[in-house]
Each structure stands twice: as C-alpha cells, then as structure tokens.
Amino acid sequence: MKTSNYIFFLAIYGGITGAMMLLDGKGSLETYGVSADPYHVVIMEYLGISNLAMAALIFFVRNEVSLKVLRIILIISAIEMIGSSLKGFYDVQISGVPGNTFFWVDAIIRFLVGLISIFITLRISKETF
C-alpha cells in the first residue's frame, strides 16, 4: 500500500469518527454505554472538532513529498491511536470504567491502526538511508 493511500485512510477514519462525535455526541456516548448528560455531550462534541481538525490536517498533507512531514504525521497518528487505546484499556481493566463490546472493537481497531502507522513510519524511514 502506498503511504499516501494509508494517510488518506487515516483522514477518512478520523473524519468519520470526528463527524460522529460532533454531529451525534449523545448517540456516540450511548454507543459506548455512557449516560449522555449535557456535560458529556459537550465534551464529546469538542473532541469531535479535534478529530475533524486532525483528519483535515492529515488529508491535506497526504501527498506531501517531504518524508519528514509524513513521518511526523504518522508518529502523531500512532501516538493518538495507541495512546487512546492504552488509556481505554487501563480505564476498563484497572479503574473499573464500564466497557462494552463496541468499546473493545473500537479500541482494538485503533491500536492496530497505530501499529500500522509505526510500521509505515519505519518503512519510509528506511527509504531515506
């Protein structure tokens, strides 16, 4: 897979999750099994804007020729994906926060996407040597 295609996938994935969080914050929360009070909905919508902004950034640099820029985008993506998965795993397993099947599927997908980002970062890093 070409790096630009993978980065395009990251942008689409971030755009979909961001749009879901922004446009249907209550539904997104309920999907994860969280009661959707107004405070949580506002936070979810804020996070949706953040996801959409990150997706837009990734989308606009997908065809960047600078390998340094591509590595930075992929590393940031890996930190976001793996970090959010590990935080979620910790919260459910250690802190006792409820986690439903949708949470586990989403967390595993995010973790795998983060690992793929690391793999592609390492692959394009080898191209420069």
Residuewise pLDDT in 10s, the chain (129 residues): 788 899 999 999 999 999 999 999 999 888 887 888 899 899 999 999 999 999 999 999 888 888 888 899 999 999 999 999 999 999 989 988 888 888 899 899 999 999 999 999 998 877 654
The amino acid that residue 64 corresponds to is E
State the pLDDT at residue 83.
Answer: 95
Q: How high is the pLDDT of residue 125?
A: 77
**Cα–Cα distance, 59 to 16 (Å, whole number):** 13
Q: Which pLDDT value is given to residue 127?
A: 66
Please tell me the number of Cα atoms within 13 Å of 47 on its side-chain side: 16
- Residue 24 and residue 18: Cα distance in Å, rounded? 10
The CA distance from 24 to 1, in Å, is 32
Q: What is the pLDDT of residue 128?
A: 58
